Structure 1
Amino acid sequence: MGINEKFKEKNTVISFEIFPPKETSSLNTVYNTVDALAHLHPDYISVTYGAGGTSKNKTVEISSIIKNKYNIDSLAHLTCISSCKNEIDEILFNLQENNINNVLALRGDIPHDVVFSIPNPIEFNYSSDLISYVKSKGDFCVAAACYPEGHLDSPTKESDWENLQYKINLGTDFLISQLFFENKYFYQLNDHLKEKGINTPLQAGIMPITNKAQINKIISLCGAKLPKRYENIINKFGDSPQALQDAGIAYATEQIIDLLANGVDGIHIYTMNKPEIAKQIVRNISSVVNSINNIY
């Protein structure tokens, strides 16, 4: 099933993101994560891969386990800036062979430590190039990323949102937002799309910050603004891991409840491969989600 069909079946969709271990690490740890998340009955699980496609084979393997062992739809991340068309073709073939037809099409970051592997000339400059290419290659449901606060490489938020319209026009089936810590930014993006007559399903990406060391790295990578009240949480509880985890889960839960109350199409939780955190959030929101989806 294409994941886009789930948005027609449910008022709100709940999903998780996981990432493969490093090339030198065992897959057993992530399989334990998948097993724990599967028991939470998500609508789908997305699987990333590293810069330069360093774990793309593991992405296909993990996505296959999710789909074919647990019967949960999987969404395979696919980045293109460091790939040629032959490599993309091979990945798409492997996905189809494993009964996977859902892809998150991303440009990806240029991996500075392996610049020599970048195709010359570059065959995919932007995610829009990849979206168009994947759509031409078979019956794939293609998701795209969107940025409530604008992409770091875009001169303005507005220009980034105009580019998002272009990606949608190429056949994007649904959208997943970058993480954000203030819901107003998500609502601004959602309102912009509705004003343009765009009704493509839009999921809110939420990451519970549970580790002080994560903060600066995450913000530098995605450009999300950290509100003062979140800074206060970090300053107050940053040196107490359990307190910070509890506060981070509470903050993420508050965000999600507000989004659900305002009719969001779905919630995509960036789990950081920590199923215990996802479990707590799902427990916190389960009655609300069931009410929205008319499950009693």
Structure 2
Amino acid sequence: MDRLISFEVFPSNTQDDFTKLVATIQELAKLNPAFISVTCSNNNQTIDQITIKVANYIKNELGIETIAHLPAAYLSKAQVKRTIENLTRLGIYHVLALRGDTLPNLKPVHDFLYASDLIIYIKTIAPEFSISGACYPEVHPDSPNRISDIQALKLKCDVGCDSLISQLFFDNDLFYEFIERCQLAGIDVPILAGIMPIVNRKQAIRLVQTTKTNLPRKFLAILEKYEHNPKALGEAGLAYAVDQIVDLLTQGVGGVHLYTMNNANVAEHIYQQTGALFATASCFGQEK
């Protein structure tokens, strides 16, 4: 079975940052990924103007498959339809369908209450599209329990989600338990493991303060021991991510989606350490 590696990048609204992102994407493309996904915020202009612009560059300038994120909590059906039409004109037929985070000071549009609603709508207006979905090995923050979380995930797959990309995690055993729950529930689409290398103190602090993911003792020890040693923290964080990836692929996981934080050097280092474990790039989902 092929083992795929893919990358996630996130655009910003400034031309200077876009130029830097293009340079990053060019370096990532040299690693022959299965695809590069492009995130977006809940700002409606971002998906129309920035995310699609970056996805177009990846697909049509570099010849790399791409997935455009589509978080629809603040999008109307008309806006989603326009986005799908724009992507189609560019030859991009793959989206990551998300509800997206809701903001405390901004009321959602309510055309799509859940990701499954968005998937149903896209499959109705553009059945040729491939749709990836997000999954949460440690349960979605809004789910009351594991059972309802798996039920919601099964619904997403039943209504047209072709593949899943996991939220970041640092405990592989929890991911394996999640895979078993998916299998028992009859979820049989490809699932990629989302890995985020932690290579600096700012990242580490944000992670500890905001994430609900389990932080294993080994990982916490790295953060504590090297908190004030940037070089050591970076090297230890990369080594931890490499160990995770080697273990995941050895245990038969179908692929790894690397949250690059727009850092090509991190991706290159990890690929140098693990590249032989991956197959040559192939399309994840449908290609038109």
TM-score, normalised on structure 2?
0.92
**Matches of residues 180-199 of structure 1 in structure 2 within 5 Å?**
180-199=169-188
Alpha-carbon distance in structure 2 between the residues aligned to 1:198 and 1:141 = 17
What is aligned with 2:63?
Answer: 71
Kept after mapping to 1: 8 A contact 2:4/2:256: yes
Which 10-residue stretch deviates more, 205-214 or 172-181?
Answer: 205-214
What is the identity, as a one-letter code, of the residue corresponding to 1:89?
A: K
State yes or no: 1:239 paired with 2:239. no
The structural deviation recorded for 1:97 is: 0.9
What CA distance in whole angstroms lies between the structure 2 residues aligned with 1:262 and 1:281? 18
- Taking the aligned partners of 2:38 and 2:89, their CA distance within structure 1 comes to 17
CA distance in 1, matches of 2:208, 2:89: 37
Q: Aligned partners of 1:75, 1:219: CA distance in 2, in Å? A: 29
| Amino acid in the other structure paired with 1:248 | G
Tell me the equivalent position of 1:169.
158
Identical amino acids, percent of aligned pairs = 38
Aligned to 1:128: 116
Q: Structure 1 residue aligned with 2:31, among 35, 40, 43?
A: 40
The answer on whether the counterparts of 2:2 and 2:279 sit within 8 Å (CA) in structure 1 is: no
**2:43 corresponds to 1:16:** no
Q: In structure 1, which of residues 269, 272, 278 is the aligned counterpart of residue 258 of structure 2?
A: 269
SS in 2 for 1:42: coil
Hey, what's the Cα distance between the residues in 2 that align with 1:45 and 1:75? 6
**1:24 Cα offset (Å):** 7.0
Report the CA distance between 1:221 and its aligned residue. 4.7
CA gap 1:70/1:24 in 2 versus in 1, 3 angstroms: closer
Q: Which amino acid aligns with 2:39?
A: T
Q: Do the aligned partners of 1:53 and 1:79 also contact (CA within 8 Å) in 2?
A: no
Compared CA separation, residues 166 and 216, structure 1 to 2 (3 A): farther
The 3 A distance-change label for structure 1 pair 211 and 22 is: farther
Confirm whether residue 153 of structure 1 aligns to residue 142 of structure 2: yes
Distance 2:177 2:140 in 1: 15
Q: What amino acid is aligned across from residue 23 of structure 2 in structure 1? A: N
Match of 2:11, SS?
Answer: coil
1:219, distance to aligned residue in structure 2 (A) = 5.0
Matched residues in 2 for 1:219 and 1:277: separation?
Answer: 21
**Offset at residue 290 of structure 1 (A):** 4.8
**What residue ranges of structure 1 are gaps of 5+ in the alignment?**
1-9
What is the CA–CA distance in structure 2 between the aligned matches of 1:125 and 1:28, rounded to whole Å? 35
- Letter of the 2:154 counterpart: Q
CA distance in 1, matches of 2:122, 2:31: 31
1:195, distance to aligned residue in structure 2 (A): 2.0
Contact 1:23 1:54 (8 Å CA) reproduced: no
Task: State the match for 2:132 in structure 1.
Answer: 143
Give the superposition deviation at 1:243: 1.1
Q: Unaligned stretches of 5+ in structure 2?
A: 283-288
- The one-letter code sitting in structure 2 at the alignment partner of 1:262 is Q
Which residue of 2 is the match for residue 61 of structure 1? Answer: 53
Structure 2: how far apart are the matches of 1:250 and 1:26? 28
Distance 1:285 1:238 in 2: 26
Any idea what the Cα deviations from partners look like across 1:221-251, whole Å, max 9, x if unmatched?
Answer: 5421111111110111121212111111100
Deviation at 1:161, TM superposition (A): 1.3
SS at match of 2:83: helix
Q: CA RMSD in A?
A: 1.8
Distance 2:246 2:167 in 1: 18
Aligned to 2:278: 289
Q: Cα gap change, 1:23/1:124 in structure 2, threshold over 3 Å: closer, same or farther?
A: farther
SS at match of 1:136: helix
- Secondary structure of the corresponding residue to residue 51 of structure 1: coil
